[in-house]
A = this chain, B = another copy of it.
Amino acid sequence: MSAATVTFRRAVPDDLPRIVALLADDPIGRTRENPGPQLDTRYHEAFAAIERDPNQLLAVAERGGHVIGVLQLSFIPGLSRRGMWRGQIEGVRVAAGERAGGIGRAMLQWAIEECRRRGCGLVQLTSDKRRSAAHGFYEALGFEATHQGYKLSL
């Protein structure tokens, strides 16, 4: 099946275990997530917080009833660049068996279009410097690595 048969939609609560499994099925995510068997209640709380916030959109890619990808979009109002809204993409994951099949590209293109539809003038994301394969992927989509991405753990 091709990427063309993949659909994108807002995540619903029943998707949560599958989404957490996708977040965990990754060399970096594996060290950070706890996919179960019993789902950590903090995931449920975070899902509810995302649902409550009209400027958050947790989206999944689906094919044949199976969730094969996830990302989160945040729509951020700001004064910079003449009051421009920005769309921010976090937590991009594609199921292990589906990578390199164009799913990630289709999912990002869908996300960029959502940002445009919501009136954003810019889309931004950060990618861990260890994810060197991801960098070419984002650059091929037109993203430019103009910034340093800083993190501080509290």
A residues touching B (Cβ–Cβ < 8 Å)? Answer: 16, 19-20, 23, 29, 32-34, 40, 42-47, 49-50, 53, 55-56, 58, 72, 74, 76-85, 88, 90-91, 112, 115-116, 120-129, 135, 138-139, 141-154
Contact = CB atoms under 8 A, between A and B. Distances in A.
Contact of A124 (B33, B34, B126): B126
A77 B141 CA distance: 26
A149 to B, nearest CB: 3
26 contacts: A20-B79, A32-B80, A32-B81, A34-B82, A40-B82, A42-B82, A43-B79, A43-B82, A46-B83, A49-B85, A53-B55, A58-B79, A76-B88, A88-B88, A112-B152, A122-B152, A122-B153, A123-B151, A124-B152, A126-B126, A126-B150, A127-B150, A129-B147, A145-B148, A147-B149, A147-B150
Majority secondary structure of chain A interface residues (helix, strand, loop or mixed): mixed
A25 to B, nearest CB: 13
A42 B124 contact: no
A105 to B, nearest CB: 14
